[in-house]
Chain A
Amino acid sequence: MRVSTLARTILISMSLTGVLLVVLLISLLMGTTVTEVKTLLMQSAQGIDAQRTWTIILSYRLPRTLLAAIAGAGLASAGVVFQGVLKNPLADPYLIGIAAGGALGAVVSIALFGERWLLGTSLCAFLGSIAAVGLVYGLAVARRGRGYVNTVILAGVIVGALMNAVMLLILSLSGSHEKQRILFWLMGDFSLASYQKVLLAAVVVAAGWTLIYLNANRLNLLIVGDDTAAHLGLNVFRTRTLFMIVAAMVTGAIVSVSGTIGFVGLVVPHAMRLLFGPDNRVLLPAALLGGAAFLAASDCVARVVAYPVELPVGVITTLSGAPFFLYLLVKK
């Protein structure tokens, strides 16, 4: 007898939650010596060292680890949605210009205000992402009809390239200090994590993911095909628009707090699909938790592997994700 989908969803979610908790714990303690951990566990908090360790963990590692986990969760979930809605296994949250728009917004903000106004960078990045998606979707709607999905992808690639060009133009005209900042931002960066950012990202990802999950069955229908979905009672155009808007908002919010981190939104959905099948009722929670674990782990590696130099997390995700993806491509 087959295990029911509900039971499978719960089972998989619980196992991945376990994995995620282990990753989070490792990430929080990484860099802490065994003696320090013992001191913490013994509750002998009067020592100055314990105090210092707590401070490092709570005000530095915890917000950073949480932000990485939330970003991974959101990017992987948005990846599942974009791959389904665009019916393209190569789609990811950045394909349709969201990252390029966000990057342009952030670069404009960094060039104009420098680092003094951190929240401004996030805000401009978010606005840039949403503007890019709005432009792409507007183009697709203007050409509504057959070939809709291809129009979105093509328009996305073109809008993305355009924004990239403008962004590079600004980059080349900026001072060296700004350049450094921008480059870090482009490669994905959690070093400026704060509880403020954590809260912001958590709210958007939680709300967006919930809305998406409430429509998980509809996403299944969309994957089978537009006409089939319509014959099964789905309002195809409305549903797809909803998915695109929500997934774009989630992606935009993450890009705004963490920069553009590649490959998470592409590789994690594929890996989860390979493990658990294409049913979105199972896949969405799996991607949420798996994405969180993957990006938190990647950030942990980025932090410690070349200590004291910190690597951009995007380098780690791409270095570990690309070979896996190539393997998938060859195997299929």
Chain B
Amino acid sequence: MKRALLECRDVSFGYGARTVLHGISFGIGEGDFVGVIGPNGAGKSTLTKVLSGLLRPSEGVVTLTGADMSSFSKREVAAQVAVVQQEESPDFSFTVTEEVMMGRAPHHGGLYFEGPSDRAIVQEAMDKARVTHLAERRIETLSGGERQRVRIARTLAQQPKVLLLDEPTNHLDLYAQLSLIELMRDINGEGIAIFMVSHDINFMCESCAHLKILHERKFYCQGSPREVITEENLAHSFNIKALVDVNPVTGAPRMTPLARLVSNS
């Protein structure tokens, strides 16, 4: 079995009295591509925050390369785990290069000026995320898809072992979504483990090797997209009647929502 880079052991989390996650256990190993889907409010974003160390579990532990995450400093965590989260909008807009360069922060102390190696790493990250042509543009002048790629470039400059993405398709058009899938395959192909949460089921089927459905505070089912995306599972966890067939080109399962189910419970 592969060594788990990031692992939840019996993790529970709640905001006050409201439990959001209960007894979650799973690991993300080298080269994994794991996706979590679930209806709104199932706790997907919370799970991402617990994995990134932003929130501490109320029970259980999250381990990073085998050791309790809370035994690492925030900077040590950031040197291994990078997060592409939903957008924050700053009032003072940096250029793309400056923004990507911030990914080097976990590898430096207080005050630093980037050296040749930082510049090389940032250049490579920008090439990979295909934002090199935007280098001198200010973030506020970019489209949603371009900003997303800049954020991914920044996380690549962090040189993480694990990349976490929270709802990466939000506000992206179809072209940008396809570009995102391609980019994540490249990143994953270089050995960076990817963990992603989204409510966009078809997008997740196309990109993830392994899927889990988060439902009522725990994983309802998990496995390959083919095993997980069935009409029964969707009915149970999303409360919808859906048609599931196969994308004839990619072979991934494909679902078409048909009607909502009226539950009598």
Query: A-side interface residues toward B, CB under 8 Å?
Result: 2, 4-6, 9, 83-84, 87-89, 213-218, 220-221, 223-228, 230-235, 273, 277-279, 281
**Top 5 A-B pairs ranked by shortest CB distance?**
A225-B88, A233-B78, A233-B75, A278-B92, A6-B113
B54 interface residue (CB < 8 Å to A): yes
Is B30 on the interface with A (CB-CB < 8 A)? no
Once bound together, how far apart are the Cα atoms of A152 and B111, in whole Å? 27
Contact (Cβ within 8 A) B114 A4: yes
Chain B residues touching A, majority SS: loop
B-side contacts of A228, CB under 8 Å: 85, 88
Does residue B52 face the partner (Cβ distance < 8 Å to A)?
yes
Q: Are A224 and B102 in contact (CB under 8 A)?
A: yes
Would you call B39 an interface residue if the criterion is a C-beta within 8 Å of the partner chain's C-beta atoms? no
Q: Do A217 and B95 touch (CB < 8 A)? A: no
Given A231-B54, A232-B78, check contact A224 B90 (CB 8 Å): yes
Among A2, A83, A230, A281, find the residue whose CB has the most chain B CB atoms closer than 10 A: A230
Across the interface, B108 reaches (CB within 8 A) one of A83, A217, A230, namely: A217
Q: How far is the CA of A220 from the CA of B139 in the complex (A)?
A: 14
Chain A contact surface mostly: helix
B88 touches A226 (CB 8 A): yes
Q: A231 CB to closest chain B CB, in angstroms?
A: 4
Q: Is there an interface contact between B111 and A213, defined as CB atoms closer than 8 Å? A: yes
A30 to chain B, nearest CB (A): 36
Task: Write the nearest CB–CB distance from A9 to chain B, whole angstroms.
Answer: 8
Q: Does B77 contact A (CB under 8 A)?
A: yes
B: number of interface residues (CB 8 Å): 35
Closest B residue to A224 by CB, please name it: B90
B 214-250 to A, binary, CB cutoff 8 A, 1 in contact else 0: 0000000000000000000000000000000000000
* Contact residues in B for A220 (Cβ distance below 8 Å): 94, 98, 102
Q: What 5 additional pairs, Cβ within 8 angstroms, besides A4-B113, A233-B106?
A: A4-B114, A5-B113, A233-B78, A273-B92, A279-B98
B91 at the interface (CB under 8 A from A): yes
| B82 nearest CB neighbor, chain A only | A231
Which one of B97, B99, B110 contacts A215 once the chains associate, using CB atoms below 8 Å?
B110
Cα distance A218–B89 when bound, in Å? 17
* Distance A99 CA – B88 CA, assembled complex (angstroms): 31
Measured in the bound complex, the distance between the Cα atoms of B91 and A217 in whole Å is: 17
Verify B114–A218 contact, CB threshold 8 A: no
- Residues B59-111 near A (CB distance < 8 A): 73-79, 82-83, 85, 88-95, 97-99, 102-103, 105-106, 108, 110-111
Contact status B111-A215, CB under 8 Å? yes
Chain A's closest residue to B111 (CB) is A214
Find chain A residues with CB under 8 A from B136 CB.
2
Asked if B112 is at the interface of the complex by the 8 Å CB criterion, the answer is yes
Evaluate contact between A231 and B111: CB separation under 8 angstroms. no
With contacts A231-B52, A232-B78 known, is A221 near B88, CB below 8 A?
A: no
In the complex, 29 of the A-B residue pairs with CB atoms within 8 angstroms, ordered by the A residue number, are: A4-B113, A4-B114, A5-B113, A6-B113, A87-B91, A89-B92, A215-B110, A218-B110, A221-B102, A221-B105, A223-B90, A223-B91, A224-B94, A224-B99, A225-B90, A231-B82, A231-B85, A232-B78, A232-B102, A232-B158, A233-B73, A233-B106, A234-B74, A234-B75, A277-B95, A278-B93, A278-B94, A279-B98, A281-B113
